[in-house]
């Protein structure tokens, strides 16, 4: 059963989860973090950056693995998740960019991208704390409804709904890639602690399905119920269907 924490604001969630990450790094300077993109974890990264900078915390040995990446964006595209992770996490916090990995989304070598990523996570000893957002479709990472609960990192097709949601980051909706490389649900479940965040009413149904619904491939977030150590941090609006 997941522990559900209802907080008054995103800022408060950022403090709570950011502090938990600092505690982890202070206990384990070579901690392995699972990083999510999207707007949801931004308050966490902001608070983490504030504490790391303010208290001069050594993060030079921390490793990180992003959940997913778009397929086929040109190298250095500002909306590739490699760029987003650099801009929103690596630079503000001061992580060593070489120790923070993002799946390879280049078409060249895409067949082996999933396997390589799994091997890299294994070689790092697995993820200690995985930050997760949840999409309106209930996706975690980019595991859309229908994804196997045992899936590993692989190429997936994005749903039209997710492409529409993410169109705000691109000049035109047609520019949103059709495919992604995403950690599988099975990959995510191997992390030692999952922290699922969600804010706003638009996420209420996905949160309820994840936390209270039947465990089902039609609600990928519900896979968190299979994990022994899950913390769900939501605001009142995202908790409103619980």
Comparing CB distances to ligand GLP, the nearer of 57 and 218 is: 218
Comparing CB distances to ligand GLP, the nearer of 55 and 174 is: 174
User: Which of 34, 133, 138, 221 contacts ligand GLP by CB under 6 A?
Assistant: 133
C-alpha 131/C-alpha 17 separation (Å) is: 9
Catalytic option among 86, 101, 144, 165: 144
Residues contacting residue 2 through CB under 8 Å, at least 6 positions apart: 196, 211, 224, 225, 230, 231, 232
Residues contacting residue 108 through CB under 8 Å, at least 6 positions apart: none
Q: Which residue has the tokens 């999409």?
A: 135
Comparing CB distances to ligand GLP, the nearer of 14 and 133 is: 133
For residue 56, the minimal CB distance to ligand GLP (Å) is: 30
C-alpha 67/C-alpha 34 separation (Å) is: 7
For residue 109, the minimal CB distance to ligand GLP (Å) is: 21
Q: Residue 118, interface with ligand GLP (CB under 6 A)?
A: no
User: Which of 11, 26, 39, 60 contacts ligand GLP by CB under 6 A?
Assistant: 39
Residues in the chain: 242
Binding to ligand GLP, residues 19-38 (CB under 6 A): 36-38
Beta-ladder partners of 5: 233
Cβ–Cβ < 8 Å for 221, 210:
yes
Question: Is 68 marked active-site?
Answer: yes
Helix (H, G, I), strand (E, B) or coil at 151: coil
Helix (H, G, I), strand (E, B) or coil at 4: strand
Window 147-166: contact mask with ligand GLP (x via CB under 6 A):
---------------x---x
C-alpha 204/C-alpha 172 separation (Å) is: 28
Q: Residue 142, interface with ligand GLP (CB under 6 A)?
A: yes
Q: Residue 80, interface with ligand GLP (CB under 6 A)?
A: no
Beta-ladder partners of 230: 194
For residue 67, the minimal CB distance to ligand GLP (Å) is: 5
Q: Residue 141, interface with ligand GLP (CB under 6 A)?
A: yes
Binding to ligand GLP, residues 43-72 (CB under 6 A): 67-68
For residue 122, the minimal CB distance to ligand GLP (Å) is: 21
C-alpha 33/C-alpha 48 separation (Å) is: 12
CA-based nearest residue to 134, from 205, 58, 80: 205
Give the H or E element holding residue 232.
Answer: strand 230-235
Comparing CB distances to ligand GLP, the nearer of 64 and 135 is: 135
Instruction: Enumerate the active-site residues.
Output: 68, 139, 144
**What residues line the site for ligand GLP (CB under 6 A)?**
36-40, 67-68, 133-135, 141-142, 162, 166
């Amino acid at each position: 059963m997941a522990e559900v924490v209802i907080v008054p604001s995103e800022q408060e969630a950022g403090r709570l989860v950011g502090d938990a990450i600092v505690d982890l790094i202070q206990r384990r300077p070579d901690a392995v973090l699972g990083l999510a993109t999207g707007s949801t974890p931004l308050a966490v990264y902001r608070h983490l950056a504030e504490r790391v900078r303010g208290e001069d915390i050594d993060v030079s040995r921390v490793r990180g693995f992003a959940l997913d990446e778009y397929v086929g964006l040109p190298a250095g595209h500002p909306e590739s998740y490699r760029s987003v992770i650099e801009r929103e996490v690596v630079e503000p916090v001061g992580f060593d960019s070489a120790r923070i990995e993002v799946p390879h989304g280049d078409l060249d070598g895409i067949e082996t991208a999933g396997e390589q990523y799994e091997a890299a996570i294994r070689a790092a000893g697995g993820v200690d704390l995985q930050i997760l957002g949840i999409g309106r479709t209930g996706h975690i990472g980019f595991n859309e409804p229908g994804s196997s609960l045992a899936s590993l990192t692989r190429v997936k097709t994005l749903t039209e709904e997710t492409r529409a949601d993410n169109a705000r980051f691109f000049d035109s909706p047609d520019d949103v890639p059709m495919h992604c490389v995403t950690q599988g649900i099975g990959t995510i479940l191997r992390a030692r602690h999952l922290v699922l965040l969600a804010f706003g009413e638009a996420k209420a149904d996905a949160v309820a399905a994840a936390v209270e619904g039947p465990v089902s491939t039609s609600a990928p977030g519900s896979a968190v119920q299979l994990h022994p150590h899950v913390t769900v941090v939501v605001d009142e609006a995202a908790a409103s269907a619980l």
